[in-house]
Amino acid sequence: MAHAKECLSARWPLPFWKMSGAGNDFVLIDHRGAFVAARDMAEFARLVCRPKFGVGADGLIFIERSEEADFQWRFFNADGSEAEMCGNGARCAARFAFMQGIAAAHMRFLTRAGLIEASVDETLVTVSLTPATDLVLNRRLQVTDRPHVVHSVNTGVPHAVLFVEDLAGTDVCSLGRALRFHEAFGPKGTNVNFVALADDGLHIRSYERGVEDETFACGTGAVAAALIAVQLGLSSPPVRISTTGGAQLDILFTEKGGERLPALRLRGSAHVIYRGELTPEALA
């Protein structure tokens, strides 16, 4: 990482924003100057996302120039792994871009999952997701000591979804970790979402790949849960989801003809928590 410090030498102190999308928190950096080398990005993100020694966040987002859209991004989980998409992070990125004058209130930006459209209305941000793929319902998987009925879908990143009776009593970390690394999801693994039906919609707790822990919210996970609940006839659109941190996310559906899955949009809050400046000691 010494190289990163050198290549950043002309840039210290480095401005960043800390934002929260429904309790999923992120560091955002205007990287249109492209001063962090691509080979250093993962380690840079891991060091900055560390609690206590860094800023502390579930992920880090580089906002970059694009010839094809208003901007493009690179998204890194707290462990430095790069993910194709992040629903809550996308909502924060859209508000960051709007507030920084990088894009208008209705924008399009490129992710590794594809093109995302977003609209910003003060702290309420709505993002369209790329078409959901790889939907598998009612798979029985042996996990730890017993079989579980597991559903899965890719909403830009892979998600497993399990419906449970006692959400508060679910051991999200141990069962989530066992499923996140389960052979059924291949070497890349999956995020894992535990969902309970409620009078006001769905309640969800998520174990996130790349954070390797429960997070307060997972946007693409909430979308996965809503899509699967509707496909199973357990809920109907639009689906309101209450997340661990107490925030709510709305999943909006646009029906498609034939066998195609509906188009999905994610709506919720995106808050600017603080603006700061990184020093080289954040990479120590």
Ligand X SMILES: N[C@@H](CCC[C@H](N)C(=O)O)C(=O)O
Known binding-site residues for substrate equal: 24, 77, 87-88, 191, 208-209, 219-220
d(CA 92, CA 101) in angstroms, rounded, equals 14
Shortest separation between residue 191's beta carbon and ligand X, angstroms: 5
**Which phi and psi (to 5°) does residue 41 adopt?**
-60, -45
Is residue 24 close enough to count as binding ligand X by CB under 6 A?
Answer: yes
Shortest separation between residue 29's beta carbon and ligand X, angstroms: 17
Nearer CB in complex with ligand X: 119/280:
119
User: Cα torsion for 274, 76, 99, 64, to the nearest 10°?
Assistant: 140
Shortest separation between residue 25's beta carbon and ligand X, angstroms: 10
The correct pick among 210, 235, 247, 251 for binding ligand X (CB under 6 A) is: 210
d(CA 33, CA 75) in angstroms, rounded, equals 17
Nearer CB in complex with ligand X: 220/269:
220
Nearest CA among 206, 77, 73 for reference residue 127: 73
Identify the sign of the CA torsion 150, 237, 246, 115: positive
Helices 87-99, 219-231: axis angle to 10 degrees equals 130
Give the x-and-dash track for 86-115 against ligand X (CB under 6 A).
xxxx--------------------------
The correct pick among 20, 72, 77, 111 for binding ligand X (CB under 6 A) is: 77
The correct pick among 74, 180, 209, 265 for binding ligand X (CB under 6 A) is: 209
Nearest CA among 245, 209, 249 for reference residue 24: 245
* Of 37-45, 85-93, 194-202, 246-254: span binding ligand X (CB under 6 A): 85-93
Shortest separation between residue 95's beta carbon and ligand X, angstroms: 14
- Return the structure tokens found at 57: 């966040």
Give the x-and-dash track for 135-174 against ligand X (CB under 6 A).
----------------------x-----------------
Known active-site residue 173 = no
What's the burial of 30, exposed, middle or buried (CB within 10 Å: 0-12/13-18/19+)? middle
Q: Do the beta carbons of residue 128 and residue 115 sit within 8 Å?
A: no
Residues classed as catalytic: 86, 218
Q: Which residues bind ligand X (CB under 6 A)?
A: 24, 77, 83, 86-89, 157, 191, 208-211, 218-220
